[in-house]
Structure formats: structure tokens, C-alpha cells
Structure 1
Amino acid sequence: MTLPPLATQADLEAALQRTLDPTQAAAALRRASARVRAYTRQELTFHAQDTVEIPGGGRQLLLPQRPLLVDDTNPLTVTELFGVTGTEFTCVEGRDYTRLGSKLTRAEAFWAQTRLMGWPWARPQGIWADRVRLTYSHGYATVPDDIVDIVVDLASMTMTNPQGLRSEAIDDYSRTFASETIGAGSLTADHKRTLNAYRATAFSVAPVT
């Protein structure tokens, strides 16, 4: 799946205060968006009803992509998958698990034995199955401004020095480029501090086709 850029050509042109070639601008924004997504491990743009399989085996599941959106149009479907038998169990929020933000808790270990503690009964209480299939909607309908600013900043570096020059000279005029503009723009320490609020913990996610 090709993800859309996290900022627009209009955002980039406003920052640079000049009109840009659409092909060059698109390439710069694509590369900048890819760097932000690689660091955060998040798609960030809205994706409706994405289906993935993730490892379980504990009391809590952390949805891989955030933020989570659950409403009548965007339901959350959680299905436990058992072994090689192909047995599936569809979990119900409030009966089989609780949800807080993007964290799904199967049960509390000290609760009285109820169906919430684990289902089917012949398995550890309050523990997710080894594999769980999720269908959920996630991401931002409108990309947050601080992410847009970082993408524009990275793309601006690339557009300012698209050939990756350290310096150039024309007749008696010369200029030296800042190190961060050499080649594609790279995330700075300030960028990373801002993006840490959006960054996900890495673990393997298997998309379901």
C-alpha cells in the first residue's frame, strides 16, 4: 500500500516562499514522510479497517498503529486464533477484555473467575491466545501540525540542496551549504524529541490479505 505524504506541496511552497516543480516537490515530501514514518514506526495518516495478526500470550495487547478510532463506522474486531486447529474466538469488549486508549487487557489476574478471565476455559486465565487478529481503524484524519512542520523541514532541506552539494561557486560568487542540507534531509535531535510522542514500540506485525 502506498501511503500519502504527511504534508502537501502547498505546505512546502509556503515554507520556501516559492513555486516548486510538482515532481521534485512530491519526491522530497515522499522521502521526508518516509523518514518520519520509519522513526515513529507509525503510518500516521488515517487507515480504515486495517486487518493484522499480532502475537498474544500475555494479559495486554498494544495495537501496533495509533491512535485507535472506534465508532459505529469504524468497529474494533478482536479474534483470538488457537493453534493449528484454526479455531477462532471473537472477543467482545467489556465481556472478554477492557480497552484503555490503544491497550487491550484480557483480564486482571486477581478477579473472580468469570468468562472475562479467559475463554475457552481450558487455557490460562486472563491471557490472550498466542495469536490475535485485529481489524481496526487508526491514524489521523488531519496530520498533526508538529508532524507536518517536521516533514516540511526535511523536504525543504532536500529542495534547498537537491544535488547534495557541500558548496558551489559561480564566477566570484560562492556559498557553502549547511551539513543538514547535504542530500536528503535527516532528522535532527529536536525532530526526534518531538516525534517521540508518536513513536511506537517495535514488534512484528503480519498484515492479513
Structure 2
Amino acid sequence: MALPPLATAADLEAALGRAVDTAQADLALRRASARVRRYTRQNFTFTAGETTVLRGGERVLALPARPLVVDASHPLTVVELSGMTGIEFACTEGRDFTRLGNELTRGEPWYQPTRLMGWPWNRPLGVWAPQVRVTYSHGYTEVPDDVVDVVLDLAAMNLSNPENLRSVSIDDYSRTFAAETIGGARLSASHKEDLRAYRRSAFTVVPS
């Protein structure tokens, strides 16, 4: 299922101060949203109950999509996978791990050896199993304003040069388009700086 654009046609028209063809606005916003998502490695759109299998083996397990949403309607489920044996161990927050932001920290390696510190018994204490299955909700019910600003800026550049021209001349009038609009609007250094706080580093996901 395709993700919705990170801004609306009404937002784009308000930013441009003029009416925009619906099809052109939709295309420009989808292209701009795709570039923002690709750079930040974040969907932004709220997603409930997504299940993914992550590579463990460390004390801290970072959930890939942010922000993490945990409440009565959106529980966080964490299960360690044993691999070849098929045994699974359901972990409980506050007993088996602690949560800070999107990071789940497993056990305390200096405590006495118990099942709560690590599983199975012959694994180093206080670290996650090699694979961990997590079901969690994440994203924004409303896209942050600074992200919307970048999307609208890119969409406006897409609309300013839909034919990807370097320049155009009509009689005595000539216009040279910005390099960022050629071949589709690209994120500028300023855009990337605005999005830096939302960008996550690459991570490894094991297909489930």
C-alpha cells in the first residue's frame, strides 16, 4: 500500500498563492515526499502494529521507525527468537528490558545469572538474542511542520520546471532554472540540515 504524501494539495496552493492542477499537485507532492522519506529513512505516516524481526546480539536494540508510540491502544510486544530450536521468549518491559525513546536496553550484565538477564542460559548475560521480533506502532498523526515545509519547497520546484528544462527563451524573455529542479527537485544542503534531526542511520532488518 502506497504511503500518502506528507503534505496536501491545499497546503501547496497556500504556499504558492495560486491554484494548481490536481494531478500535477499530487504528482509533485508524491515525488517530494518520496525524496524526504528516502533521505530520512523514515515513513513519518502513523503505522499501527507493525511487526518486524531485528538483528539482536547487543545490549541495546534500536527500533528502526520513529517516533515509537506505546499506550493502551498501541502495545509494544517484544519476543526473543532462539533460531533453530524454535523456542520463543516473550520479554516484559520493566522486568526484561527498559525503554528510552526508540531504544530497548536488555538486562543488567553485572547481576546474578537468571533467566531474566539473558536467554538461553549459554548466551552472554544482559544482551538480546540474535534475533528479536518486535510488534510496535510508530509515526506521526500530524506530520511535523518543518518536514511539511521541505516537502512543499520540493513540490514547488517540481511544478516550476515540470519538463526538466535548463533554460527557456521566448522572444526577449529568458529564464534559467535552478540545478535542483532539473531531473526532479533534489534536496539542498539547507533541506538536509532541516531534516537531520529526523534521519536515522542504516540498520539491518531480517525478513520475517
What TM-score bracket applies, with the shorter chain setting the length? over 0.9
Aligned counterpart, 1:103: 103
1:138-184: CA deviations, max 9, x gaps? 01110000000000000110001111111112222222222222231
User: What letter is aligned with 1:170?
Assistant: I
Count residues in correspondence: 208
In the alignment, residue 145 of structure 1 is paired with which amino acid?
A: D
**1:114 CA displacement:** 4.1
**How many angstroms does 1:84 deviate by?**
1.4
Residue in structure 1 matched with residue 124 of structure 2 by the alignment: 124
Which letter maps to 1:130? P
CA distance in 1, matches of 2:122, 2:112: 16
The whole-number CA distance in structure 2 between the counterparts of 1:150 and 1:207 is 32
The one-character-per-residue Cα deviations of 1:29-68 (angstroms, maximum 9, x if unpaired) are 1111111111111111100000101100111100000000
Q: What stretches of structure 1 move > 4 A for 4+ residues in a row?
A: none
TM-score w.r.t. the length of structure 1 is: 0.95
Quote the residue 1:179 is aligned against.
Answer: 179
Q: Which shows bigger deviation, 45-54 or 118-127?
A: 118-127
More divergent stretch after superposition (1-10 vs 70-79): 1-10
The one-letter code matched in structure 1 to 2:78 is V
Once the two structures are overlaid, the 10-residue window that deviates more, 86-95 or 178-187, is 178-187
After superposition, the CA RMSD in angstroms is 1.3
**2:19 matches 1:15:** no
- Aligned partner of 2:58 in structure 1 is 58
Distance (Å, rounded) in 2 between the aligned partners of 1:164 and 1:40 = 25
Q: Look up the match of 1:70.
A: 70
- Within 2, Cα distance between the matches of 1:118 and 1:148? 43
Seq. identity, %: 64
Residues 133-172 of structure 1: pairs in structure 2 closer than 5 A: 133-172=133-172
Helix, strand or coil at the partner of 1:84: coil
Residue 124 of structure 1 aligns with an amino acid whose one-letter code is P
Task: Give the TM-score taking structure 2 as reference length.
Answer: 0.95
Q: Check whether the contact 2:119–2:129 (CA below 8 A) recurs between aligned residues.
A: no
Contact map agreement 1:51 1:207 (CA 8 A) in 2: no
SS at match of 1:174: strand
The answer on 1:4 being equivalent to 2:7 is: no
* Structure 1 segments unaligned to the other structure (5+ residues): none
